[in-house]
Amino acid sequence: MSATATKTLQATLAPPTAHKEEKLQDTLGTYREALDDAFESGEDTMNGVSDVVTPYDLPYQAKAALCNYVPKLRKTYNAREIDDEHPLRLTNQAAKFDHSSEREHEFTWWAPRPGRGTNFWIPLRINPDQEDLWHDLLSEDAKAGQIRLQRHRKNWVLHVTVEYPIEEPTADGDTTPVGLDIGETALITACGLKHGTPTRPVLWSGKRAKHLRKEMSTTLQRLQERDAEWRIDERFDYYQNALTDILEKASCEVVGYAGTFENPVIVMEDLTYIRENLDYGKYMNRRLHAWAFARLQDRVEDKATEAGIPVEYVNPAYTSQTCHECGHIGKRSTQAELRCTNDECHVSTFQADISAAASIAQRVDPWGESCTWKTCDDDSPQDGSGCDTAVRPPKPSAPTQMTLGAYES
């Protein structure tokens, strides 16, 4: 049975001529003005936004994207303000590309401009790992979605969301649920569940990511205080690239880990409303809101889908406090330890993150609390920041992996 997966292709525009650079800057600037005007107007319908943006000198693909995006800012994301550095968003009608092996840059993009006869071709430097999908896009084996164009300090970066067919992961016969608990101190805690017993748990440390996020916050704040605006984008890109590298490696490794079990099913918490439900005080809320829980889950799901491993999402309530053995709510006297309060349970204390991963795996029972499979959405950041973009190769920042042999069976 076939299914579809969604991925974001990335490319850097080859340095444009001064004339093309001016046109790109003009389009991006006008788009941001139209976005600000539409957002400040308070319109939350496509027709209302259309009335606001129609007078602006923009390509029709950009106006159509605004009509779709601005109502989502109000209704879906509940935004109170918007980022000044939004990328230029275009509908898939702007997905016109060409390929020739005789050119230095084999792929080119037909960049849209307002008016007739004003579009122009511009070469692309693609990610070599994504070349097959670029060819699929040209042959229409993959379908283009939204396009985003962002100006960084030195480069123009293009993102193209594509949907392509894959073999739908299936789980025939007896399955092995593999629970993933995603957190801050332990980036990912994974644990297989065989006959109700936690099996071969593994932890990926979040220490490096935690340090990078703290350092990023401090650095950017100091640069702002010194009015060193020219360095802010550069340092922001550096930290985001390093964090992206950590998420990519961890998600790849955890899917590989899940594949070592017989007929695995990856089980994760449905964190759709985690940001609204967090209430740990101002300082902790700010830290946890900045951490990309859903972003990491999306990368795990994408890689699992490509590997043919099904993914399930379950109710996240009390998973970190529930004893995986008896189901009673326990107590966490320390961050790393869960103590079961049920006197009849043979488990007295247990490593808290492993217990949480095991509890998550248990909830995939079709007669229990399992939630429906999460839809495969665009993996791009929803605030338009484009902060998952790797503009330049990041320095390696491999997460620490620890195997807890004491818990193997």
Residue among 105, 119, 166, 121 nearest 309 (CA): 166
Q: Are 158 and 108 in contact (CB under 8 A)?
A: no
pLDDT of residue 272: 61
Give the pLDDT mean for 211-217: 83
Q: Lowest-pLDDT range, 47-61, 155-169, 180-194?
A: 155-169
pLDDT of residue 78: 65
**Closest listed residue to residue 383, CA positions, set 285, 313, 292:** 292
The residue to which tokens 């640069």 are assigned: 223
Confidence category of residue 230, pLDDT binned at 50, 70, 90: low
pLDDT digits (tens, 9 = 90+) for 112-161: 999 888 999 999 999 888 899 999 999 999 999 999 999 877 789 999 98
Q: Take residue 219 and report the two structure tokens written for it.
A: 């650095």
Please give the Cα distance from 154 to 170 (Å, whole number).
Answer: 45
| Chain CA centroid to CA 127, Å | 18
The b/e string for 360-394 (b: 16+ C-beta within 10 A; e otherwise) is bbbbbeeeeebbeebebebbbbeebbbbbbbbeeb
Q: What is the 8-class DSSP label of residue 132? A: H
Q: Classify strands 197-205 and 331-334 as parallel, antiparallel or unpaired.
A: unpaired
Show the tokens assigned to 281.
Answer: 């005080």
Write the DSSP string, 138-169: HTTSSEEEEEEEEE-SS-EEEEEEEEEEEEPP
**Distance of alpha carbon 156 from alpha carbon 229, whole angstroms:** 19
Structure tokens at 15: 């340095």
Helix (H, G, I), strand (E, B) or coil at 372: coil
Q: Are strands 186-194 and 176-182 parallel, antiparallel or unpaired?
A: antiparallel
pLDDT at position 173: 62
Single-letter residue type at 178: V
Q: Residue 72 pLDDT > 80, yes or no?
A: yes
The rounded Cα 306 to chain-centroid distance in angstroms is 16
| 209 or 377, higher pLDDT | 209
Alpha-carbon gap, residue 60 to 54, rounded angstroms: 9
- Position 300, amino acid: V
Q: Cα separation of 66 and 384, whole Å?
A: 12
Residue 164 has a CB neighbour count (10 Å cut-off) of 15
Q: What is the pLDDT of residue 345?
A: 84
Is residue 306 scored above 70 in pLDDT? Answer: yes
Instruction: Give 388's pLDDT tier (boundaries 50, 70, 90).
Output: very low
Model confidence pLDDT, tens digit, residues 293-303: 777 888 898 88
Of 4-8, 187-191, 269-273, 379-383, the poorest mean pLDDT is in: 379-383
d(CA 166, CA 72): 29
Distance (Å, whole) CA 237 – CA 182: 24
DSSP state for residue 371 in the 8-state scheme: P
Quote the pTM value: 0.56
Top-confidence range, 112-116, 240-244, 268-272: 112-116
Does 382 have pLDDT greater than 80? Answer: no
| Sheet of strand 349-351, all strands in order from the earlier edge strand to the far edge | 331-334, 337-339, 349-351
User: How much of the chain, in percent, has pLDDT values that exceed 90?
Assistant: 38
- With tokens 């693909």, the residue in question is 61
CB distance 159 to 9 below 8 Å: yes
**The pLDDT value given to residue 365:** 62
* Ordered domains of the chain (ranges, CATH): 4-165 (no CATH), 171-370 (3.30.420)
Q: Cβ distance 135 to 15 under 8 Å?
A: no
Side chain identity, residue 222: R
